Structure 1
Amino acid sequence: MKKFMLLLLFCHVASPVLHSLKYFYTGSSQVPNFPEFVSVGLVDDVEFDHYDSNTQRNEPKQDWMEKVTADEAGYWDRQTQILQGSQQVFKGNIETVKKRFNQTGGVHTYQVMYGCEWDDETGATNGFNQYGYDGEDFIVFDLETKTWIAPTPQAVITKHKWNGLPGETEGRKHYLTQICVDWLKKYVDYGRSTLLRKELPSVSLLQKTPSSPVTCHASGFYPNKIMLFWRRDGEELLEDVDHGEILHNHDGTFQKSVDLDVSSVKPGDWGRYSCVFQLAGDEKDIVTKLDPKVIKTNWGKTEIKRDGDSPSGFPTGGVVGAVVGLLVLVAICIAGVIFWKKRNNGFEKANTSDGSASSDAGSAS
């Protein structure tokens, strides 16, 4: 199974003005204690609305989304109706795709990710729409050619059907290049005080055992357009490092870690290494030198403990934040926010004139 991983390979140039609107639909079969259909909407990777087959209602997840109610009469009712229709389509599509793969029972998921991006400085836009089944790419929309691409033989029937629908691909392109971008701009404006804020993290060096890698852990930053890396003698290290994914904290901020293998580093050379945190749009870096005196460990003696530190020397808040972040990540993964390894161009159904979310995903049969 392909594993989605957002590895942001920065060239030390991160755009602070690239905004995104993404929707994730997940239909599931025989997943215990989980709704058979879930929809999650995100602006700049912040969840702003949610629907599932248990509640049968699309609801805001951010206070600033209440502004939509005032500006757009009937907004939540319309979105609820759209998602109720998508729920039924996804239920049928899972059964259809299961037959394509000669499957009967078992746990299965059918997902779609669609959305758009907008650079408010250059005006550049982009759109994407792709479907997956059991974590694998199933069918992807190519924005440039306005055609569906089937990376797996089981999706060829669907590709031919969708490419043959009159006006379908044109409408899809119109949605992601115009309607989606218009709504993205509205949402960014609604949530300006939240989405455009900047928060710097606390940065800690952690090490489990004397032979373990040293982890540079940054937590509490916002937005998630950041760089976190190790450098030696002022130059970024590309070897002997392991980058973790950006995770959500319970308070809406983010955390990330990067490990440095110090097994071959001589004690006298530790001072040549440092961990660097860079937040997009902030000129001041947070630099933490590789110093044994500041490394928090769960072995031997540690530096003088601060309020909130655990007896082992690890910051309780940081550990709890990491656990909470991981749990949030797992929940979001299930809901379809963490998707497939590749993110190709494409988008979602385009026959809505008013909505932020588009209508149903289309039948795969």
Structure 2
Amino acid sequence: MSKMMSALLSLLLLLGPAVPQETHAGSYRLSFLYTGVSRPTDSLPSFQATAYLNDQIFFHYDSESRKAIPLDPWSQMEGIEDWEKESELQQARESIFMETLQDIMDYHKDREGSHTFQGRFGCELRNNKSSGAFWKYAYDGQNFIEFNKEIPAWVPQDPAALITKQKWEAEDVYVQRAKAYLEEECPAMLRRYLQYGKTFLDQQDSPSMSITSHRTPGEDTIKCWAIDFYPRDIDLHWNQGGNTVETEVRGDILPSGNGTYLSWVSLALSPWRPRSTLFCHIMHSTLDQPLVGQ
């Protein structure tokens, strides 16, 4: 499944980051990322759905397994969800989702090439009160349609989305169900999940620092690692003479595989930038003072 996730995260769309961003202190988010492709590959099935609790993957479903599979630590929690029923729900959503992708391709009269349809929806709680919800879709990297729960209605952002809007609003009950899901059902599910896993979402893990070096012909590179930290938000940089070095290369913030994250920043050395004058600074919400090392 790791290959599938890597391929999914590589899709560059306008829905925002594939991995949900850091929530504010005291807030919790349940969100879903759906992706359908017209030309699946060995590493990217035709449909997959990933559920997140804050920035932690809760469960994953795809068209090959056709099962909602919880990931650790959620898989260890008995009773958190009926996974057989959840699998049936995702199967039904897959059918609707892929039918919509075909409708869009028919509208554009384009059965050639590879096309991607992606949706993100979910809700957020702050101090146990609903503080936001969202539901939107993109096609081939462009905003397609979004649900406005205040109207309530589906708002097209692409000519082809007018057909989708007509199908989804053919019966008013479907609009009301979408509104009820965002305002009632999603927050209720999130509250229930928090009864089981709030401790994991509230974890605080301070980063550790490791500095490595690599030599190639004509250039030496040093790399500063921040390892095993949570929450996800972090700042790390090389400092020289009290100033941040602007020529550094930053790595992505990546899952460590144990519920924490890692990241790095590298710097090419030169005769006018000796290593003895360089210091790595790491700042994180769990630290009273920055970690500094060289």
Query: Same-fold call, TM > 0.5?
Result: yes
Give the whole-Å Cα distance in 2 for the aligned partners of 1:106 and 1:219: 41
Larger mean CA deviation between 51-60 and 203-212 belongs to 203-212
Find the residue that maps to 1:16 and give its secondary structure: coil
- Match runs of 1:88-167 below 5 Å: 88-120=95-127, 123=129, 125-162=131-168, 165-167=171-173
Report the Cα distance in structure 2 between the residues aligned to 1:131 and 1:260, rounded to whole angstroms: 39
Q: Which amino acid aligns with 1:222?
A: Y
In the TM superposition, residue 194 of structure 1 has moved relative to its aligned partner by: 2.6
Structure 1 position 176 matched with structure 2 position 177 = no
Q: Which position in structure 2 is the counterpart of 1:250?
A: 257
Query: Helix, strand or coil for the counterpart of 2:24?
Result: coil
Q: Could you report, residue by residue, the CA deviation over 1:222-255 in whole angstroms, capped at 9, with x for unpaired residues?
A: 23243434566667x5954554432112223211
Matches for 1:1-365 after TM superposition, within 5 Å:
2=12, 6=17, 15-33=24-42, 34-65=44-75, 67=77, 69=79, 75-120=82-127, 123=129, 125-162=131-168, 165-206=171-212, 208=214, 215-229=223-237, 237=244, 240=247, 243-259=250-266, 266-267=273-274, 270=277, 274-279=280-285, 282-289=286-293, 294=294
Instruction: Give the TM-score normalised by structure 2.
Output: 0.76
**Residues 128/98 of structure 1: CA separation in 2 closer, same or farther (3 Å cut):** same
* Deviation sequence 1:299-328 (CA, Å, 0-9, x none): xxxxxxxxxxxxxxxxxxxxxxxxxxxxxx
Letter in 2 for 1:52: D
Number of residue-to-residue matches in the alignment: 279
Give the superposed CA RMSD. 3.7
**Higher relative contact order by CA 8 Å / sep ≥ 6: 1 or 2?**
1
Tell me, in whole angstroms, the C-alpha distance in 1 between the residues paired with 2:118 and 2:189.
22
* TM-score, reference length from structure 1: 0.63
Greater strand fraction, Structure 1 or Structure 2: 2
Q: Which letter maps to 2:29?
A: S
Deviates more, 1:201-210 or 1:103-112: 201-210
Compared with structure 1, are the counterparts of its residues 158 and 91 closer, same or farther at alpha carbon in structure 2 (3 Å cutoff)? Answer: closer
Identity, in percent, stands at 27
Structure 2 vs 1, CA of residues 105 and 229 (structure 1 numbering), >3 Å: closer, same or farther?
same
Letter in 2 for 1:62: D
Gaps of 5+ in 1: 295-365
SS across alignment from 1:41: strand
The C-alpha deviation readout for 1:259-290, integer Å capped at 9, x for no partner, is 5677797549935x5422213xx24234224x
Unaligned runs of 5+ in 2: 1-10
